[in-house]
Amino acid sequence: MQATASAAPIPTRRVLSPNALMLRRFTKEKTAVFGLLVILLFALLAVFAPLLAPFDPLAQDIPNGLAPPSAEHWMGTDKLGRDIFSRMLYGARISLGAGLGVVIMAGLVGTLVGIVAGYVGGWLDEALMRVTDIFFAFPSLILAMAIAGALGPSLQNALIAVAVVTWPVYARLIRGQVLVLRDREFVLAARSVGASHGLILRRHLFPNTLSPLLVQASFEMGTVILAVAGLSFIGFGAQPPTPEWGVMISEGRNYITTHWWLTFFPAMAMLFAVAGFNLVGDGLRDVLDPRLRR
């Protein structure tokens, strides 16, 4: 009974792996792809800043100060004659680096706390979650300011401050994930064949928390970039003459209507970088959690 075997070939569809499927879904989200391109552009600018920058970001040329954008200085110069384009490029290094550093620091601590709280449960979970309550109750910028002030104003201390303020976000998120996962069949199966707690955590629970973690991290990048720049703006973060975007806006604040380019370009850089991360976060969330798709 193989009469139909030689008939018209059955149209085959290439079977995609889950990852390839997600990638394909992500690339269909136009705004998310745009966001990703913006981030990649900033990342390239940041990495190759020393090669791309036409001038030393700290080199002063006072006679040529406050020059409007021109062929030589694409984004003009500030009051000390420093090239704004070069400073903006180096600023990308600082802001992206700061974002990455804080997200990694806070993400590691938060994930660890969240996994332990969710997996162990009981009084430990209760205690850890009450601690996150306390951090959530705090107005984050005031706490970050108080920490940065106590440690002494510097970029590094601002990063520590923002990390201290943001880790509970990850802890809550991961705990919630682990609570759901911990009683799922595949975890019970692993436990029934005698897998150790360490193995279950590493092999089964942690990998399954990665996608929400990634979504959160993407949003946090934007938040952190704004927070660090805000701290620098009021004097508790990077200090002049560091070419940090918040510092650049602070230095140009008295020239906002007369020499707009001093503050406009760093502000736009921040707007695009943060919007890029937010768009990618939106796209990732839609792809990884189709239930939230709207």
Partner 1 sequence: MTTFIIRRLGGLVFVIFGVSLLTFFLAQLVPADPVAAALGSNARNEQVEAYRQQLGLDQPVVTQYAIYMGRMLQGDLGASIRTRRAVADDLRDYLPATIELTLAALFVTILIGIPLGILAALNRNTWIDGGARILALIGGAMPIFYVGLVLLGVFYRQLQWLPGPGRLDSTVQPPTNITGLYTVDALLTGNWLVFGNAVSHLILPAITLGLFSTAVLLRMTRSSMLEMLGQDYVRTAKAKGLAQRLVVGRHVFKNALPPILTIIGILFGSLLSGAVLTETIFNWPGIGRYATTSVTTLDYPAVMGVALVAAVIYPLVNTLVDIGYSVIDPRVRTH
Q: Which two tokens stand for residue 264?
A: 């406009």
As a whole number of angstroms, the distance between CA 213 and CA 215 comes to 5
> Among residues 71 and 150, whose Cβ is nearest to partner 1?
150
Site residues (CB under 8 A) for partner 1? 130-131, 133-134, 137-143, 145-152, 222, 226, 229-230, 233-236, 245-246, 249-250, 253, 256-257, 263, 267, 270-272, 274-275, 278-279, 294
As a whole number of angstroms, the distance between CA 187 and CA 207 comes to 12
CB of 136 to partner 1, least distance (A): 8
> Among residues 45 and 160, whose Cβ is nearest to partner 1?
160
Length reported for the chain: 294
Which candidate, 95, 69, 55, 39, places its Cα nearest to that of 242? 95
As a whole number of angstroms, the distance between CA 156 and CA 23 comes to 35
Category of 66 on φ-ψ map: left (φ > 0), alpha (ψ -120 to 50) or beta: left
CB of 58 to partner 1, least distance (A): 23
> Among residues 40 and 142, whose Cβ is nearest to partner 1?
142
Q: 208, exposed or middle or buried, with CB in 10 Å at 0-12, 13-18, 19+? A: middle
> Among residues 117 and 147, whose Cβ is nearest to partner 1?
147
CB of 54 to partner 1, least distance (A): 25
CB of 188 to partner 1, least distance (A): 25
> Among residues 200 and 266, whose Cβ is nearest to partner 1?
266
CB of 276 to partner 1, least distance (A): 8
